[in-house]
A = this chain, B = another copy of it.
Amino acid sequence: MSELRRDLVKNNWVSVAEHRALKPNDFPIAKKALESSVMGAFCPFCEGNEQFTPPEIAAYREDSEPNTKGWLVRAIPNKFSAFELEGELEETCLGVFSRYNGLGKHEVIIEAPEHDIDFHQLSVERMEIILKIMRDRYNDLACDKRIKYIQIYKNRGIFAGASLEHSHSQIVALPLVPAENQGMIDYYKEKHHCLLCDILAQEMSDERLVAESEAFILLCPYAPRFPYETWIIPKNHKEHFGGISAAEIQDLAKIIKKFSNVMIESLADPSYNLVINTAPVNVDYQPGYHWYIELTPRLLVNAAVEIASGIYINPVAPELAAAMLREKMLTAK
């Protein structure tokens, strides 16, 4: 179990392991975990190794029993969860410091039974199933009134923070709302418009547009933190990812499949993160949220400027990034 500690100087929240200390050589960077897993180390996510993960929460499988072979996607509790969904949220003060207990959930979605298939290599149909289980888990977790924010994300490659190579995503369900998307709320308060809807209206010119599907716009944001950062924004204003329709999932799977292949090919097989940003749950209603997906290739490491000042230095203008990605999307199959 962990604690959520408040950093008063930087106004960050930090989930700190309570009585645990990874030794310096246990970290993925030091262990080069990716290399060793490529080289045939044991992988608990592979089909046939179901007994080495915690029992599954949900799965897409045909006729087989839970926790046995014969599945396409599995959702399991994260064995190294930073959170536990027990009791109520409690604040403890220690002089100037304060902390919460680590109330919450941390799940893993194993995206394929095969070890050697990468996310972008999956078929559109299999991507659809992954998106469906993400939506199902989102809506299920949102039923617990103690959960205030659900973040679904993917770390691919060592420079994006992945510690296992087998294709997977993660879900954290938190007892508090991160401040990161507050900009959308502030904008709505001032203008009585949705920020992302206004951005979409302005961005329909070519300059930062990457691609368009029936239901989604892909664009490089005006102030991207990372080179070639791309957002996938639903055209229709919807606050929660959990409200995504079956038709939208089909459409989204197609465009993610196409774009992830373009990204892998044209950016020299980068590490990347995929994050679903969505409205908080179980809190007083605040208008202004519009769910969207961030795709952040990690061609640069966050250095001292980024981590200490929160100012990002990005050597690639998004207009040029979008021009390159747009061209590749046009010619891709």
Contact = CB atoms under 8 A, between A and B. Distances in A.
A158 interface: yes
Contacts of A304: 151, 153-155, 160-161, 170, 273-275, 296
Contacts of A222: 5, 7, 97
Contacts of A294: 308
A299 interface: yes
What size tier do the contact residues of chain A reach?
35 or more
B315 A22 contact: yes
A30 B299 contact: yes
A25 B316 CA distance: 13
Contact of A15 (B5, B25, B28, B311): B311
A312 interface: yes
Residue among A22, A179, A320 with most chain B CB within 10 A? A22
Contacts of A224: 7, 14, 16
Contacts of A170: 304
Contacts of A96: 195, 198-199, 202
A308 B151 contact: yes
A41 interface: no
Contacts of A307: 225, 273, 275, 296, 302
A20 B311 contact: no
A238 interface: no
Q: Is the interface of A mostly helix, strand, loop or mixed?
A: mixed
A282 B209 CA distance: 40
Interface of A: 4-22, 24-25, 27-30, 80, 82, 95-97, 99, 149, 151, 153-155, 158-162, 170, 172, 174, 178-184, 186-187, 195-196, 198-199, 202, 221-225, 227-228, 266-268, 270-271, 273-275, 277, 294, 296, 298-318, 320-321, 324
Given A10-B225, A24-B270, 19 more contacts: A5-B223, A7-B221, A12-B310, A12-B311, A22-B315, A29-B301, A96-B199, A153-B304, A155-B303, A155-B304, A158-B301, A162-B303, A170-B304, A178-B309, A178-B311, A273-B308, A275-B307, A277-B308, A296-B307
